[in-house]
Amino acid sequence: MPSQILISNDDGILALGVRTLANALAAAGHTVTVVCPDRERSATGHGLTIHQPIRADRIEAVFDPAIAAWSCSGTPSDCVKFGLSALLETPPDFVLSGINHGSNLGTDVLYSGTVSAAMEGTIEGIASIAFSLASFSHQDFSPAAAFAVELLDQLAIAPLPTATLLNVNVPPLPAARIAGAAIARQGLRRYREQFEKRLDPRGKSYYWLAGEAIEDIDQPDHVHLPPEIPTDVQAVRAGYISITPLQYNLTDAPVVDALWNRPQPWANTQKLRLWDL
């Protein structure tokens, strides 16, 4: 069933991943609008541009002629807001982001511009999906794009019960070697970080953030999910496409429950647990 789709990314309007995704969806009969940053905006999180104007230009000859594409000076979240509020006359059926060049696994989602762009759609009540290819060197985005087409077909037939964000990571493998798709929970990804100190031509110091990912360290069981559900990192490592539903409500429910039910000397006698001021 053809859908109206808004696509953004954080790799920029000229990135191969977004071009492959948009063209594949247009070829499948969907109506596609693309709004992407005019340059790479990786790891911008959910940042917005509020202290300077946002400029947008129509892009020709990069995508399939049937695709309306725009280059935007803002962040990935800006791009989706601009697309929803200034370009499209009616809300799209889906907001997609990617295909990102590099994984967005575990706690990467907190920094990811790719995931944040898709999250903008979810905040507006639109089913949204972030797609990432789990490699910085692999150049074949076609298996990820083919899966995106298949996934949208399935969601059109059997929609999710609420406007959900799905975070999809595709292993860097030929399609024939991908083991399948797995529903996964968010893993825990930590980094051994370091700041490299360097000198500019004038002898002044500056620092470059570098580091190495340490995957699934001290991974705790999820309080609401059975332990046999793999993490996204585990699924991709095993050759599966990971599909992880995410939400923007970051409330820590177990701690809220613990504080709510524990007598507090600083709480008043009413049910609302408030500090006396």
pLDDT digits (tens, 9 = 90+) for 198-232: 888 998 998 877 766 666 554 566 667 777 888 89
- For the domain that residue 242 is a member of, what is the CATH number? 3.40.1210.10
For residue 42, the model assigns a pLDDT of: 85
Give the burial string for 174-200 (b: 16+ CB within 10 Å, else e). eeeebeebbebbbbbbeeeeeeeeeee
For residue 226, the model assigns a pLDDT of: 74
Residue 257: enclosing H or E segment and its boundaries? Answer: helix 253-261
Band the pLDDT of 187: cuts 50, 70, 90: confident
96 in a structural domain: yes
Mean pLDDT on 258-273: 62
Give me Rg for the CA atoms of the chain.
21
For residue 219, the model assigns a pLDDT of: 59
d(CA 168, CA 159): 17
273 in a structural domain: no
**Closest alpha carbon to 37 in 55, 64, 62:** 55
213 in a structural domain: no
d(CA 209, CA 205): 13
200 in a structural domain: no
258 in a structural domain: no
20 in a structural domain: yes
For residue 218, the model assigns a pLDDT of: 47
205 in a structural domain: no
For residue 99, the model assigns a pLDDT of: 98
Give the dihedral of Cα atoms 261, 262, 267, 271; nearest 10 deg. 20
Strands of the sheet containing 127-133, edge to edge, are 56-59, 68-72, 31-37, 4-8, 94-101, 127-133, 165-170, 240-246, 180-183
Q: Is the pLDDT of residue 273 over 60?
A: no
**Closest alpha carbon to 83 in 45, 56, 47, 60:** 56
Q: Which domain holds residue 119?
A: 4-185+223-251
Beta bridge partners of 36: 71
Band the pLDDT of 277: cuts 50, 70, 90: very low
Mean pLDDT on 137-141: 94
What whole-number percentage of the chain has pLDDT above 90?
62
Band the pLDDT of 190: cuts 50, 70, 90: confident
Mean pLDDT on 39-65: 90
Structure tokens at 136: 């910085």
Residue 189: enclosing H or E segment and its boundaries? Answer: strand 189-199
pLDDT digits (tens, 9 = 90+) for 109-137: 998 999 999 999 999 999 999 999 999 99
Band the pLDDT of 276: cuts 50, 70, 90: very low
User: Number of folded domains in the chain?
Assistant: 1
d(CA 109, CA 96): 15
pLDDT digits (tens, 9 = 90+) for 177-186: 999 999 999 9
**DSSP readout, 9-37?**
-SS-TT-HHHHHHHHHHHHTT-EEEEEEE
Mean pLDDT of the chain: 88
For the ranges 44-48, 112-116, 254-258, which has the lowest average pLDDT? 254-258
What are residue 158's phi and psi, to 5 degrees?
Answer: -130, 85
SS3 of 69, please? Answer: strand
